[in-house]
Structure 1
Amino acid sequence: MRRLKKSWLRIFAAAAIFSLLFVFVGCSSNSSSSSTKKETTSGKKVEIVFWHRMTGPWKTALDQEISDFNKSQDKYEVKGITQGSIDQLKQKVMAAARSKTLPTITQLPYTSIPDYIKQGMLEEVSFTSDQKSDMYPAILSSTQYQGKSYSVPFADSTQLLFINDQLAKKYNLETPTSWEQVKTIGEQLKKDGIYAMSLDQSYDMPLESMANQAGYPYVTKDGKANLSKPEVIAAAQMILDLKKDGYLKTAAEDQYGSVAMLNNKAVYGIGSSANIGEFKNRAKSGQTFSTAAIPSYKGKSGDVISANNLVLFKSASADQKKGAKEFFNFMLKPKQAAYWAEKSGYVPMTKSAMKYKTYQDYLAKNPSYKAVETSIENAYASNQFAGYDNFRTKLLSAVDSTLTANASADKAFTSLQTETQQILQQNK
Structure 2
Amino acid sequence: MFRLKKSWRRWFTVAAIFSLLFIFVGCSKSSSSKSDSSSASKDATSSKKVQIVFWHRMTGTWKTSLDKVIDDFNKSQDKYEVKGITQGSIDQLKQKVMAAARSKTLPTITQLPYTSIPDYITQGLLEKVSFTADQKSDMYPAILSSTEYKGDNYSVPFADSTQLLFINDQLAKKYNLKTPTSWDDLKTIGAQLKKDGVYAMSLDQSYDMVLESMANEAGYPFVTKNGKANLSKPEVIDAAKTILDLKKEGFLKTAEEDQYGSVAMLNNKAVYGIGSSANIGEFTNRAKKGQTFSTAAIPAYKGKNGDVISANNLVLFKSSSADQKKGAKAFFNYMLKPEVAAYWAKKSGYVPTTKSAMKEKVYQDYVAANPSYKAVEESIESAYASNQFAGYDNFRTKMLSAVDSTLTTNTTAQKAFTSLQKDTEDILKQNK
Specify if TM > 0.5: yes
2:230 to 221, 226, 232: 226
1:195 to 199, 215, 231: 199
**Correspondence for 1:14:** none
**Correspondence for 2:94:** 90
CA distance in 2, matches of 1:300, 1:106: 35
**Correspondence for 2:66:** 62
Q: Which amino acid aligns with 2:95?
A: Q
Identity within the alignment, %:
85
- 1:50-199 equivalent positions in 2, closer than 5 A: 50-199=54-203
CA distance in 1, matches of 2:88, 2:402: 29
Cα deviation code 1:179-231 (max 9, x no counterpart): 00011100110011100000000000100000011111100000000001111
**Correspondence for 1:330:** 334
Q: Quick check: which one's helix share is greater?
A: 2
Q: Of the two structures, which has the highest relative contact order with CA contacts closer than 8 Å and spacing of 6 or more?
A: 1
Q: Would you say 1:313 and 2:317 are equivalent positions?
A: yes
1:340 to 339, 344, 364: 344
**Correspondence for 2:421:** 417
**Correspondence for 1:9:** none
**Correspondence for 2:379:** 375
Q: Residue 41 of structure 1: CA displacement? A: 3.6
Matched position secondary structure for 2:318? coil
Q: Which amino acid aligns with 1:212?
A: N
With normalisation by structure 2, the TM-score equals: 0.90
Q: Which amino acid aligns with 1:279?
A: F
2:298 to 290, 294, 301: 294
Q: Which amino acid aligns with 2:340?
A: Q
Q: Would you say 1:245 and 2:245 are equivalent positions?
A: no
Q: Would you say 1:260 and 2:296 are equivalent positions?
A: no
CA distance in 2, matches of 1:54, 1:90: 13
With normalisation by structure 1, the TM-score equals: 0.90
- Paired residue total: 389
**Correspondence for 1:283:** 287
Matched position secondary structure for 1:161? strand
Unaligned stretches of 5+ residues in structure 2: 1-43
Cα deviation code 1:251-287 (max 9, x no counterpart): 0000000000000000000000000000000000000
**Correspondence for 2:32:** none
**Correspondence for 1:427:** 431
CA distance in 2, matches of 1:88, 1:398: 24
Cα deviation code 1:318-355 (max 9, x no counterpart): 00000000000000000000000000000001000000
Q: Which amino acid aligns with 1:132?
A: K
Q: Which amino acid aligns with 1:91?
A: Q
2:276 to 262, 272, 275: 272
Q: Which amino acid aligns with 1:67?
A: D
2:218 to 201, 214, 218: 214
**Correspondence for 1:29:** none
Q: Would you say 1:44 and 2:69 are equivalent positions?
A: no
Q: Which amino acid aligns with 1:74?
A: D
Q: Residue 42 of structure 1: CA displacement? A: 2.0
Q: Which amino acid aligns with 2:65?
A: A
CA distance in 1, matches of 2:414, 2:391: 24
Q: Which amino acid aligns with 1:238?
A: T
- 1:367-406 equivalent positions in 2, closer than 5 A: 367-406=371-410
Q: Residue 97 of structure 1: CA displacement? A: 0.8
Q: Residue 43 of structure 1: CA displacement? A: 1.2
What RMSD over aligned residues (CA atoms) do the two structures have, in Å? Answer: 0.7
CA distance in 2, matches of 1:101, 1:394: 31
CA distance in 1, matches of 2:46, 2:54: 23
CA distance in 2, matches of 1:257, 1:42: 54
CA distance in 2, matches of 1:145, 1:118: 11
Query: Which segments of structure 1 move beyond 4 Å, counting only runs of 4 or more?
Result: none
Unaligned stretches of 5+ residues in structure 1: 1-39
CA distance in 2, matches of 1:295, 1:63: 37
